Amino acid sequence: MLLSSSTTLAASGMINAGELFKNHPMFSDIEGELKEYLELSTKKLQKNSALLDSQQMELNANIKKMNPTTAKATQKDINEKRKLIDEQKKILQQKLSAFQERGRVRVLEDIILNSEKVRKALGLDLIIDSGSVVAIDEKLDVNKQVLESIKENYKPQQLIDELDLLRTDR
């Protein structure tokens, strides 16, 4: 739809959603949670894997001295445990992906909520994202006000309460 020169836009403001997303305090908290969870989970998996490696080395060193049935059963047990570790790695990746997605959605919802607060406070009819605008007067930029609103209203515990997905298996 093209606007004629006599068409006037409603009172509007502009944000840069990408910039707000990157600067949202929840974004860095999510990254911190993910890093912490990944480190703990990786250590646990590495410990289990190292234990299996030592069991495998012990089996290999003693296989000639062992009863063939016992050796076969021990190897089967080690292989099954390796499969479990591989499954745990897949589950870890799925949980991390779900946590990231839930976090992205939560950050976006918060940007929208705070944009609405700023829109009402400034008496604007609409706020648009700069990503879809070719040219606009910088006076319409309300990014700073929205980011201030986000920071004023953000409670770090809110993230932990809402995104508790990872804490359940620590």
Render pLDDT for 83-115 as a digit per residue (tens, 0 to 9). Answer: 999 999 999 899 888 888 888 898 999 999 999
Render pLDDT for 6-16 as a digit per residue (tens, 0 to 9). Answer: 455 578 899 99
Please tell me the predicted confidence (pLDDT) of residue 166. 55
Q: Which two tokens stand for residue 164?
A: 């508790």
Q: How far apart, in whole angstroms, are the C-alpha atoms of residue 119 and residue 11? A: 10
Using CA atoms, how far residue 135 sits from 6, 14, 92, 131, 161, in Å, is 18, 11, 44, 10, 40
- Checking phi first, is residue 123 left (phi over 0); if not, alpha (psi -120 to 50) or beta? left
* 15 touches 143 (CB < 8 A): yes
pTM score, whole prediction: 0.72
